[in-house]
């Protein structure tokens, strides 16, 4: 089976890949050189209607399938993904510009593992034990599918985010319509085709590739959709919530982040420096959990800045298909210019750009960087806590470093943004680490590391970073609704509590 053919179009509805009925063609562009990877026709609202109808038609059969049969299908899917791992990695790199070593060693194996995890989780719906809680009745809890799920995934991790949306939804017995970002739809389409190959019935997994203002808003507002799951920016997430509220849909939002990286004076400096570079530059910084603002206790501040600057300068930009390339381009030229705008405005406010702050010209392998949306790793210091680069989500290879004195101050600064998705604290002191995990308001707090995720543990935020969890058993629970079932076990016709409504007690 060839998963990499897109000649039939960029929609996957009822088990078939088709063209969209939108009027304008759209180019999926390789941001490394500006070349067209695929030309597709985007979805119209009619395509969304067709996908929702297909999902609705498939729901009765799939929702009644046994957990074991759904599990077996996901195990087959995991094996198919593994067989096509190289194809997935190559296409993911082509449409996003991320280094092939990231696609090969992080995105694709993570997706395969996530699929295997949900194959097991499908057979493990948890609930309160059945029992006679009133004394006169036996009660138990059923976890049931919600229905048709409408999901919108982002462009930064197209394959992984598609999996994060699709897997828990279908493992729990729902059907789904996924709208990937139109910039990067190709591996989502491949994933949907792999689902069909794995024996998952037609209509269970559907993909509509369209613009947010048309396909996305129509999907979120659709009366045939019972739940909405969205990953993306906080402003767009607010719009999604507004639309979903109008039809009282369950809503799951994984939104923006501005992760703090808190380095206490007793930290392993070398570990913190290397962790900051990796944590801030993963996926060219286009990661909502990326380290974006480092707070370093003053005794280590100067050495930390110098160490990060040295490693930033040594990072290899180049052809994403070259396995020695460390940093690829940003996802588009428009986004690169947006990131550069943050840095230039910070310069205007007097910030010190220690290294980077430019697009660059030639990569480590001779790649002409001017043809792509490249931006060099950028380190900024000497800027106020309330500045735009500290408070706003830049979503690029930019790290701001600020000093702090007391532990109280460091933790206060860590919490001093609207976001709360992820954070890390670096210390050898167990009490400091426990305090950091307790007081930092974020959905994930790493100690002496930053970025690793695992299928068994949840991912999701606090505050303006949204609510709900991806991955883990907690994610599966998000896609179920709880029903209380209660049986009378007395066979008594005239129950004592009836007298509170009519008649007198004997």
Which of the 8 DSSP states describes residue 128? P
What length does the chain have? Answer: 506
What are 45's two structure tokens? 């609202």
Q: Over the range 356-389, which residues count as b (16 or more CB within 10 Å of their CB) and which as e?
A: bbebbeebbeebebeebbbbbbbbbbebeeebeb
Give the C-alpha separation, 345 to 492, whole Å.
77
Residue in 457, 375, 466 with CA at minimum distance from that of residue 419:
466
Question: Which listed residue (38, 195, 288, 393) is catalytic?
Answer: 288
> Residue 354 is inside which H or E element, if any?
strand 352-355
By C-alpha distance, which of 197, 191, 169, 165 is closest to 178?
Answer: 165
Long-range pairs, 391-395, Cβ under 8 A, ≥24:
391/258, 391/417, 391/418, 392/258, 392/342, 393/233, 393/234, 393/256, 393/257, 393/258, 393/288, 393/292, 393/419, 394/285, 394/292, 394/339, 394/342, 395/156, 395/285, 395/286, 395/288, 395/335, 395/339
Distance CA 427, CA 337 (A): 36
Token pair belonging to 10: 């960029």
Does 288 participate in catalysis according to the annotation? yes
User: Residue 390 and residue 292: Cα distance in Å, rounded?
Assistant: 8
What is the number of other CB atoms lying within 10 angstroms of the CB of residue 409?
A: 13
Residue 148 CA to its chain's centroid (Å) = 20
**Side-chain-facing half-sphere of 34: CA atoms under 13 Å:** 10
Residue 143's DSSP bridge partners are 482
- What region does 484 belong to: left with phi over 0, alpha with psi -120 to 50, or beta? beta
444 assigned to active site: no
* 3-class state of residue 478 by DSSP: helix
Measured between alpha carbons, how far is residue 294 from residues 338, 354, 413 in Å? 21, 14, 10
Exactly one of 182, 217, 254, 478 is catalytic; name it: 254
Enzyme catalytic residues: 254, 288
């Amino acid at each position: 089976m060839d998963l990499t053919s897109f000649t039939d179009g960029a929609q996957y509805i009822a088990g078939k890949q088709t063209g969209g009925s939108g009027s304008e063609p759209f180019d999926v562009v390789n941001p490394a050189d500006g070349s067209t990877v695929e030309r597709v026709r985007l979805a119209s609202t009619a395509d969304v209607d067709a996908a929702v109808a297909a999902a609705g038609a498939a729901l009765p059969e799939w929702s009644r399938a046994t957990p074991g049969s759904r599990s077996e299908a996901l195990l087959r899917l995991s094996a198919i993904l593994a067989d096509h791992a190289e194809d997935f990695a190559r296409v993911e790199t082509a449409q996003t510009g991320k280094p092939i070593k990231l696609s090969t060693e992080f995105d694709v194996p993570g997706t395969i593992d996530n699929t295997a995890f949900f194959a097991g989780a499908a057979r493990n719906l948890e609930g309160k034990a059945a029992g006679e809680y009133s004394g006169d009745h036996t009660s138990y809890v059923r976890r049931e599918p919600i229905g048709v799920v409408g999901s919108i995934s982002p462009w930064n991790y197209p394959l992984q985010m598609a999996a994060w949306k699709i897997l828990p939804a279908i493992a729990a017995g729902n059907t789904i319509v996924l709208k990937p970002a139109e910039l990067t739809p190709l591996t989502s389409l491949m994933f949907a085709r792999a689902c069909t190959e794995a024996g998952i019935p037609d209509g269970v997994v559907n993909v509509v590739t369209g613009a947010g203002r048309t396909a996305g808003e129509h999907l979120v507002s659709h009366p045939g959709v019972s739940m909405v799951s969205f990953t993306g920016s906080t402003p767009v997430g607010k719009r999604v919530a507004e639309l979903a509220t109008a039809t009282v849909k369950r809503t799951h939002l994984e939104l923006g982040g501005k992760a703090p990286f808190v380095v206490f004076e007793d930290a392993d400096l070398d570990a913190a420096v290397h962790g900051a570079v990796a944590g801030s530059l993963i996926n060219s910084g286009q990661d909502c959990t990326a380290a974006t603002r480092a707070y370093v206790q003053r005794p280590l501040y100067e050495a930390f800045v110098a160490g990060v600057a040295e490693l930033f300068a040594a990072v290899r930009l180049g052809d994403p298909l070259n396995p020695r390339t460390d940093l690829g381009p940003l996802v588009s030229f428009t986004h690169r210019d947006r990131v550069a705008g943050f840095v230039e405005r910070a310069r205007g406010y007097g910030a010190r750009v220690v290294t980077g702050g430019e697009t660059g010209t030639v990569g480590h392998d001779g790649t002409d960087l001017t043809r792509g949306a490249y931006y060099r790793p950028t380190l900024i210091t000497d800027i106020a806590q309330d500045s735009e680069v500290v408070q706003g989500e830049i979503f690029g290879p930019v790290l701001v470093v600020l000093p702090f004195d007391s532990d109280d101050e460091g933790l206060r600064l860590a919490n001093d943004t609207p976001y709360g998705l992820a954070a890390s604290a670096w210390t050898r002191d167990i009490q400091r680490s426990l305090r950091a995990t307790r007081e930092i308001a974020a959905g994930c707090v790493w100690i002496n590391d930053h970025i690793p995720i695992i299928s068994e543990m949840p991912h999701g935020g606090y505050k303006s970073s949204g609510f709900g969890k991806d991955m883990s058993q907690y994610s599966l629970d998000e896609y179920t609704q709880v029903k209380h079932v209660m049986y009378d076990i007395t066979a008594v016709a005239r129950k004592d509590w009836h007298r509170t409504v009519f008649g007198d007690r004997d």
